[in-house]
Amino acid sequence: MGLISAIRGQVAQIDKNLPLYEVHTMDEVFLLSAAQQRFQALLVSGFAVISLLLSAIGLYGLLSFLVAQRTLEIGVRMALGAPRQSVLTMVLRRGMVLAAIGVALGIAASVALTNFLKGMLFGVRPLDALTFVVVSEVLLLVCLLASSGPVYRAARLDPVKTLRDQ
């Protein structure tokens, strides 16, 4: 950028009527050329975060519904002497089995559909094992966190009150 005035002077010596406009450094040219791709990557990342949030909310809702449906069963188990840990494990296992099935189906669909996406990927391997593992772990962690609310609610159930209400 410090050379622009010297370049303008040299161009003016050659031809005073020759305009010199839109002078940029190579770094600026590179940043401007990649702006559209960066915006698209940011947009896709935003949609990915929103979809992760929606899946967590959906999983929480589903597990809450399952716990509400099984309130009588949980109350009977606890009234018959089942330890709270056993009930917590049962509810948590149910959520994590659903999450594992979802992750397995998602990986299978992703592997099957990578052939269609190969033309749109630049500088990224379509079947990157690290990406599949990291995304799967993040989704399972989200499922575990989403399961914690219904598990906590199931642990607080009073068996006598539950049986009386049913």
Same domain for 71 and 28? no
Please indicate whether residue 154 or residue 65 has the higher confidence score (pLDDT): 65
Please state the pTM of the whole predicted model: 0.62
Decide if pLDDT at 1 tops 70: no
Residue 39 lies in a domain: no
Contact 57, 142 (CB under 8 A): no
Mean pLDDT of 121-132: 78
Residue 149 lies in a domain: yes
Contact 92, 59 (CB under 8 A): no
Whole-number percent of the chain with pLDDT over 90: 6
Q: Which residues contact 6 (CB under 8 A, 6 or more apart)?
A: none
Mean pLDDT of 128-144: 85
Same domain for 105 and 158? yes
> Residue 73 has what pLDDT?
79
| 165 residue type, one letter | D
Q: Which residues contact 62 (CB under 8 A, 6 or more apart)?
A: 98
Q: How far is CA 59 from the centre of its chain?
A: 13
> Residue 166 has what pLDDT?
66
For residue 13, what are the domain limits? 1-33
Decide if pLDDT at 97 tops 80: yes
Residue 38 lies in a domain: no
Same domain for 23 and 91? no
Contact 113, 29 (CB under 8 A): no
CA–CA separation, 85 vs 53, rounded Å? 28
Same domain for 5 and 59? no
Contact 55, 139 (CB under 8 A): yes
CA–CA separation, 12 vs 24, rounded Å? 18
Across 52-61, 107-116, 124-133, 148-157, least confident range = 148-157
Domain count, the chain: 2
> Residue 50 has what pLDDT?
93
CA–CA separation, 88 vs 63, rounded Å? 13
Mean pLDDT of 121-136: 80
Q: Which residue has the tokens 């020759």?
A: 18
CA–CA separation, 51 vs 58, rounded Å? 10
